[in-house]
Amino acid sequence: MKLEDLFSIAKGIPDSKLPVCDKRKEISYIPLIRPSSTQRGTIKGWVPRSSVKEKNIWPKETLFVSTNGEGSVSYSYVSNFEFVPGSDIAILVPKREMNLAEKLFYAKCITLNRFKFSYGRKMSNQRLKSIDLPEKAPDWCLNYIIPKIHKPIFSAPTVDYAAVSKKSFKISDLFTIERGKSGNAKDFSPGRIPYVGASAKNNGVTKYVEGTPDYTGGQITVANSGSVGEAFFQNFPFFGSFHIFVLSPKDFTLTKGIALFLCTIIRQNKFKYSYGRAWSMEQMEVTEILLPELNGCVDWSFISDFMNQLCRHKF
């Protein structure tokens, strides 16, 4: 049956005149939703509740569809919070009683129609209405119990990165730096141990090989040629190619959160190098990175709290 037989369609509102904020300033601010290929990317910003008519604020467990946006058309989601939809969002209101599992099922079905649309062939109201959908969800879906989320998806900001004091630190003052110890990956037999090379993909892992790993894990790897400047945290034993630097922490505990933060900062040096301009050991030893500081030392506690907050804000 057609989508219009199952749902009534409501349009979002233009947001050009709304006072949109990047952060949630107060508890009264609610999310403004935009098209996105991921649900966590649908929050464009925050608007004061008082700036929007109540009829344009939709409750949690509302099904919505992206009708525009390059690479985002037809992506459909069920919200876990009340929100304001932008003009490129269509709200689907069930014409019969539907539980959360059914809404999630239909959201997936609608998303699977995305091959029919593109930036040049947008999802008009008529095209949305004419999408073919199952008359009802399968029994396993109807009986599925959705686990409750006990942690809030978002909360008022508690850690302000922009306001904290920062200082430049040499990478060599924070880490013991060495080149990877292993030769060409082709010389290894296939196995289960990651072989980390100068790649920008798959956390730097180019192959899984057999043997006794060079490193026990808990280090950061940085490509010094190939995809120069790509930095990754290696949380498990691995082999390291000669084309990477291996950074082992000196006087601090390298947690996953801190490591991911540092990888992002280290990658900001990528623009200095290229395939034809490798990152030498001498250059790495004098490279400085800007980090939060407290009394002249790296504020590891702040970095940890900041990364924990980011994790709590993920969908």
Q: Is residue 150 part of a domain?
A: no
| pLDDT the model gives residue 76 | 95
Q: Is residue 183 part of a domain?
A: yes
| pLDDT the model gives residue 216 | 95
| pLDDT the model gives residue 153 | 53
Assign residue 242 the CATH number of its domain: 3.90.220.20
Same domain membership, residue 179 and residue 308? yes
| pTM for the model | 0.54
Same domain membership, residue 134 and residue 184? no
DSSP string computed for 253-302: ---HHHHHHHHHHHHTTGGG-BTTB---HHHHHH-EEEEEEETTEE-HHH
Same domain membership, residue 120 and residue 8? yes
Strands laid side by side in the 231-234 sheet: 175-179, 244-249, 219-223, 231-234
Same domain membership, residue 73 and residue 185? no
Give kind and range of the element (H or E) at residue 241.
Answer: none
> Smallest Cα–Cα separation from 300: which of 156, 164, 154?
164
Same domain membership, residue 122 and residue 182? no
Same domain membership, residue 130 and residue 11? yes
Q: Is residue 135 part of a domain?
A: yes
Same domain membership, residue 175 and residue 111? no
- The whole-angstrom separation of Cα 201 and Cα 178 is 22
- The whole-angstrom separation of Cα 83 and Cα 292 is 34
Q: Is residue 147 part of a domain?
A: no
Domain that holds residue 88: 3-142
Number of domains in the chain: 2
Same domain membership, residue 172 and residue 122? no
Q: Is residue 181 part of a domain?
A: yes
Q: Is residue 124 part of a domain?
A: yes
Same domain membership, residue 297 and residue 234? yes
Q: Is residue 151 part of a domain?
A: no
Same domain membership, residue 138 and residue 174? no
Q: Is residue 118 part of a domain?
A: yes
What is the residue-level pLDDT of the chain in tens, covering all 315 positions? 999 999 999 999 998 889 998 878 777 889 999 998 888 889 999 999 999 999 999 999 999 999 987 668 889 999 989 999 999 999 999 999 999 999 999 999 999 998 888 767 888 889 999 999 999 888 888 777 777 655 555 554 556 777 889 999 999 999 999 999 998 888 999 999 999 999 999 999 999 999 999 999 999 999 999 899 999 999 999 999 999 999 999 999 999 999 999 999 999 998 888 877 899 999 999 999 999 999 999 999 999 988 887 775 443
| pLDDT the model gives residue 315 | 32
Same domain membership, residue 130 and residue 209? no
| pLDDT the model gives residue 158 | 59
Same domain membership, residue 204 and residue 136? no
